[in-house]
Amino acid sequence: MLYSLLANLVLIVHGVFVLFVATGGLLVLKMPRLLWLHLPALGWGGTVVGMGWVCPLTPLENHLRRLAGLEGYAGGFIEHYLTSAIYPDGLTREIQILLAGLLIIGNLVVYTTLFRRRKRFSKHPTEP
């Protein structure tokens, strides 16, 4: 029972991390101090996906599932839990590249907006 709960906790933490990597830039617009958490998370997430690595949380979750008497799964977290939701049937490599580009461009827009706001505020701190 304990191992099953721990495996589910790792699953939740992993899911929240993936969501933070993908959408954390939007949170940074509201809470700029999160920048120092989001940038390394984005770097790690992008590297793991781009290099085809398996995040260390995946083997940990599988190990805990096996200790609980449950079955683990092959591949990584994204392939097992998110691929069918993120990548529907018929998805081509070109569309995957487009989606990755949109993620990068989206974060560049978010961070450019944030830095422009900061720059404008530092020049005119009394103006809205």
Please name the residue that has the structure tokens 């005119």: 124
pLDDT in tens, 14-71: 989 989 998 999 999 889 899 999 999 988 987 787 777 788 998 998 899 899 998 8
Structure tokens at 33: 């101090």
Listed by start position, the domains of the chain span: 2-123
pLDDT classification of 9: cutoffs 50, 70, 90: very high
Average pLDDT over residues 92-97: 70
Q: What is the pTM of this model?
A: 0.72
For residue 128, pLDDT over 60 is answered with no
Whose CA is closest to 15, among 26, 4, 7? Answer: 7
**pLDDT beyond 90 at 127:** no
**10 pLDDT above the threshold of 60:** yes
The b/e string for 33-68 (b: 16+ C-beta within 10 A; e otherwise) is: ebbeebeebbeebeebbeeeeebebbeebbebbeeb
